[in-house]
Amino acid sequence: MIEGILIGLTTALTLQNILMVMIGCFFGTIIGMLPGLGPMTAIALMIPITYGFDPATGLILMAGVYYGAVFGGSTSSILLNAPGVPGTVATSFDGYPMAQQGKAGKALAIAAWSSFAGGTLSAIYLLFMAPSLSKVSLSFRSPDYFALMILGLTAIAAFSSKGQFLKAMMMVVLGLMLASVGQDSLSDITRFTFNNMNLTDGISFVLIVMATFAMSEALTIILKRNDPTSAAKQVSLTELGSIKINKEERSKMYKTIPRSSIIGFLIGVLPGAGATIASFLAYGMERNVVNDEEKEKFGKGSVNGLSAPETANNAACSGSFVPMLTLGIPGSGTTAVMLGALLGFGVQPGPRLYMTNPEIFWSIIMSMYIGMVILLILNLPLIPYIARILAVPKNYLIPLILFFSITGIYVMSFNNFDIYLMIGIAVVATFMRLYDFPMPPLILAFVLGGLMEENLRRSLLLSNGSWEFLWGRPLTLIILILTLSIVCWQLFKSLKK
Amino acid sequence: MNINTTKVISLLFFIFSAFYLYTAYQIQVFAFDENAPFNARTFPIYLGYAGLFFSGLKLILPDPNTIKVQHKTLEYKKTALLIVIAIIYGATILKVGYFLTTSLFLFSSYYFLGERRWFLMFLLSFPFVAAFMYLLHGVLDIYLRDPFLQSIGVMG
- B residues 50..79 contacting A (CB < 8 A): 50-51, 54-55, 57-58, 61-62, 64-65, 67, 69, 73-76, 78-79
Residue B22 has pLDDT above 90, yes or no: yes
Q: Are B9 and B69 in contact (CB under 8 A)?
A: no
Q: How many CB atoms lie within 10 A of CB B154?
A: 11
Closest Cβ–Cβ partner in A167, A177, A461 for B58: A167
Higher pLDDT, A249 or A379: A249
* Contact at CB, B58 and A420, closer than 8 angstroms: no
Question: Average pLDDT for residues A451-457, to the nearest whole number?
Answer: 91
CA pair distance B112, A228, nearest whole angstrom: 19
Is B136 at the interface with chain A, CB within 8 A? yes
Q: Is B99 on the interface with A (CB under 8 A)?
A: no
| Residue A90 to residues A157, A187, A305, A308, B57, Cα–Cα distance (Å) | 21, 49, 8, 9, 33
**Segment A186-227, tens digit of pLDDT:** 888 999 999 999 999 899 888 898 899 888 988 998 998 876
Amino acid, res. B133: M
- Summary mean pLDDT of chain A: 83
- Taking only the tens place, the pLDDT of each residue in A131-170 is 777 777 777 888 988 998 898 888 878 876 566 788 999 9
Residues of B in contact with A48 (CB under 8 A): 136, 142
Q: Is A248 a residue whose pLDDT tops 60?
A: yes
In degrees, rounded to 5, the angle at the alpha carbon of residue A177 between the alpha carbons of residues A339 and B85 is 80
Q: Is the minimum CB–CB distance between B123 and chain A shorter than 8 Å?
A: no
| Nearest-by-Cβ selection for A395 from B43, B87, B113 | B113
Q: What is the pTM of this model?
A: 0.82
Cα(A19)–Cα(A200) distance, rounded to whole angstroms?
38
CA angle A26, A30, A34 (to 5 degrees): 160
Higher pLDDT, A174 or A85: A174
Window from A62-66, A67-71, A310-314 with minimum mean pLDDT: A67-71
Q: Would you put residue A392 in left (φ > 0), alpha (ψ -120 to 50) or beta?
A: beta
Looking at the partner chain, which of A186, A187, A416 has a beta carbon nearest the beta carbon of B90?
Answer: A416
Contact B86 A423 (CB under 8 A): yes
- How does residue B9 score in pLDDT terms, banded at 50, 70 and 90? very high
> Average of pLDDT values for A31-38?
72
Q: Do A420 and B33 touch (CB under 8 A)?
A: no
Query: Using the beta-carbon criterion (under 8 Å), do A219 and B79 form an inter-chain contact?
Result: yes
CB contact under 8 A, B17 and A173: yes
Write the residue in B24, B30, B75 that is nearest to A187 by C-beta. B30
pLDDT above 50: residue A10:
yes
Residue B76 has a pLDDT of 92
Of A166, A416, A427, the CB nearest to B91: A416
Q: What is the pLDDT of residue A140?
A: 81
**Of residues B82, B94, B109, nearest to A414 (C-beta):** B94
pLDDT of amino acid A228: 64
Q: What is the Cα–Cα distance from A426 to A96, expressed in whole angstroms?
A: 34
Checking if the pLDDT of B1 tops 90, the result is no
The most confident of A33-42, A375-384, B49-58, by mean pLDDT: B49-58
Residue A397, pLDDT above cutoff 80 = yes
Q: How far is A308 from chain B (nearest CA, A)?
A: 31
Chain B positions in Cβ-Cβ contact with residue A457 (cut-off 8 Å): 38, 42-43
Q: Is the pLDDT of residue A358 over 60?
A: yes
On the question of pLDDT at B2 being above 70, the answer is no
In A, which residues are within 8 Å of B67 by CB distance?
Answer: 434-436
What are the tens digits of pLDDT across the range A38-47? 777 788 878 7
B65: which chain A residues are within 8 Å (Cβ-Cβ)?
163-164, 497
Give the per-residue pLDDT at A35. 65
Out of A224-233, A243-252, B89-98, the most confident range is B89-98
Q: Which of A483-492, B43-52, B95-104 has the highest mean pLDDT?
A: B43-52
Worst-scoring range by mean pLDDT, A107-116, A171-180, A348-357, A383-392? A383-392
Question: What is the dihedral sign for C-alpha B135, B138, B139, B141?
Answer: positive
Q: Which of residues 11 through 40 in chain B touch A, CB cutoff 8 A?
A: 13, 17, 20, 23-24, 27-30, 33, 36-40
pLDDT for the residue A386: 65
Residue A167: closest CA among chain B residues belongs to which residue? B58
Burial A150-167 (b: 16+ CB within 10 A, else e): bbbbbbbbbbbbeebbbb
Q: Residue B69 region, left (φ>0) first, then alpha (ψ -120 to 50), else beta? A: beta
Predicted confidence (pLDDT) per residue in A423-449, tens digit: 999 999 999 988 889 888 898 899 889
A342 — pLDDT class (breaks 50, 70, 90): confident
Which member of B44, B67, B75 has the closest CB to residue A435?
B67
